Structure 1
């Protein structure tokens, strides 16, 4: 029995031999996409249900190297209120319209009492709009801040106790609307963390935070230099690495890989890269009707997260 098999057994599921070889062969030879295309997910109206502790997130590696100003504006009710409730989130300038000041008075009072002091500036709506991206839905509130500090892979994805553990890995998914929506779904369905690469992944932004609807402040976001090494580390921890691929033979309904799942999703259109597929224990698909060719990556992520959340 290999070391990986021994570790998998210790974490509650024995690693099968023949399906693994068959799936890895399929993974290395498959050139198909992951069964979903790019798109946008917007118009969220409510934040995710989560009682996990507030966490920290990274600035991009490029920003750290270049020393560029990493300040960003968060806007909208759920992103800003979630940020204000996260003590790790820097607070540089909080602005509201007169109507917004009245609307968020109770929220501000609770944060003042329980989290930290606030000093909101009341400004005219047209001045607020000049500070933010064109046509954004700001709901009368915005926060000038900076990206949160980074989190560690081992700390965020550590397997403890006998419960279920799920992490989500994004292989060069770059659209901020999609990544934000995926973060929201991951938080809603109990994922421990989301993992992306330093490069070929969007930085924190107001657009991404708006799509995440507050989940950016509660879900650990781990950025790594090498995704293949990160997948190896997850296997050593005891996770089964399952890649979502539209051409895979195994349906998500047929999977039985135990409690600890690392779900790997590829970029819009192109799908999982060859190296990422090779580091998956199995490839799975979402069974959909032939009348629809594929799903948007954020929709596919939500379905897969739901399937493994139970």
Structure 2
């Protein structure tokens, strides 16, 4: 029997129903909710013809999710196992790679935001070192709005070696550093590209920084000196999307 997990919130459950409807076993809904949003979810569940629905009290929903905000909807689903083999993931790509490399991102909210953005931008994989990194947990899943089920999160033992292997495969590694002169708009990311983000406190480690082909900054025109890693990742990834969809 496959293992199960609890999924909370409309976005995450709807993504499961759209992408893996057969994995949704049971959905619990707040018995007091009668609004359009809950009705839309019920229509999606009924059209799948698979999941069972149980109206329950708020205490039951809270007991299922703990401290995770559930919006009155909770689902019990089969675990989805994404490939953790980076070479296999990249071999299946039909276009230049777009990768997000996170060096030292330990906050689950930031990881969830990065996964959500990465999925929206069409990233093939998010890569992080096995140590000094957040793992996928309920908080990450909720913040990612279900993207953790779709975009592979590959945790590697040796990030520096992985970066060398990516360069051997023709991936251009672009690191972000607020102290350098060149901006994100100065580099071509239409070819296979890996955007490298460091931790908010310490930035990239030395070996990670030295592995980058380019170091660039995000222009900051106000008094704020930095952005959190989720926002910075979004800006960089969508510069690649802009270049690839507009011919630069």
Q: Which category of TM-score, normalised to the shorter sequence, fits these structures?
A: 0.7 to 0.9
The aligned counterpart of 2:205 is 273
Q: Name stretches of at least 5 consecutive residues in structure 2 with no aligned partner.
A: 243-248
The aligned counterpart of 1:235 is 167
The aligned counterpart of 1:140 is 72
C-alpha deviations, 1:139-171, integer Å up to 9, x for none? 22112457543521012223855x442111111
C-alpha deviations, 1:47-102, integer Å up to 9, x for none? xxxxxxxxxxxxxxxxxxxxxxx865321001122234443995565322223774
**Cα distance 1:158–1:249, how it changes in 2: closer, same or farther (>3 A)?**
farther
Conserved 8 A contact 2:183-2:219:
yes
The answer to whether the aligner puts 1:249 opposite 2:181 as a matched pair is yes
The aligned counterpart of 1:169 is 101
Secondary structure in 1 matching 2:52: coil
**Cα distance 1:259–1:296, how it changes in 2: closer, same or farther (>3 A)?**
same
Q: TM-score, normalised by structure 2?
A: 0.84
Q: Give the C-alpha shift of residue 189 in structure 1.
A: 1.5
The aligned counterpart of 1:96 is 29
The aligned counterpart of 2:53 is 120
Secondary structure in 2 matching 1:167: strand
Provide the rounded CA distance (Å) in 2 between the counterparts of 1:204 and 1:119. Answer: 26
Q: Name stretches of at least 5 consecutive residues in structure 1 with no aligned partner.
A: 1-69
**Cα distance 1:180–1:277, how it changes in 2: closer, same or farther (>3 A)?**
same
Q: TM-score, normalised by structure 1?
A: 0.68
- What value does the CA root-mean-square deviation take over the aligned residues? 2.5
* 1:1-310 mapped onto 2 (5 Å cutoff): 72-87=5-20, 91=24, 93-98=26-31, 99=33, 102-112=39-49, 117-134=50-67, 136-145=68-77, 148-151=80-83, 152-158=85-91, 163-256=95-188, 258-289=190-221, 291-310=223-242
**Cα distance 1:173–1:146, how it changes in 2: closer, same or farther (>3 A)?**
farther
Identify which of structures 1 and 2 has the higher relative contact order when contacts are C-alpha pairs closer than 8 Å and 6+ apart: 1
**Cα distance 1:172–1:302, how it changes in 2: closer, same or farther (>3 A)?**
same
Conserved 8 A contact 1:150-1:222:
no
Provide the rounded CA distance (Å) in 2 between the counterparts of 1:226 and 1:174. Answer: 17
Conserved 8 A contact 1:72-1:206:
no
Aligned length in residues:
235
Conserved 8 A contact 2:98-2:123:
yes
Provide the rounded CA distance (Å) in 1 between the counterparts of 2:168 and 2:104. Answer: 23
**Cα distance 1:119–1:153, how it changes in 2: closer, same or farther (>3 A)?**
same
Provide the rounded CA distance (Å) in 2 between the counterparts of 1:121 and 1:290. Answer: 50
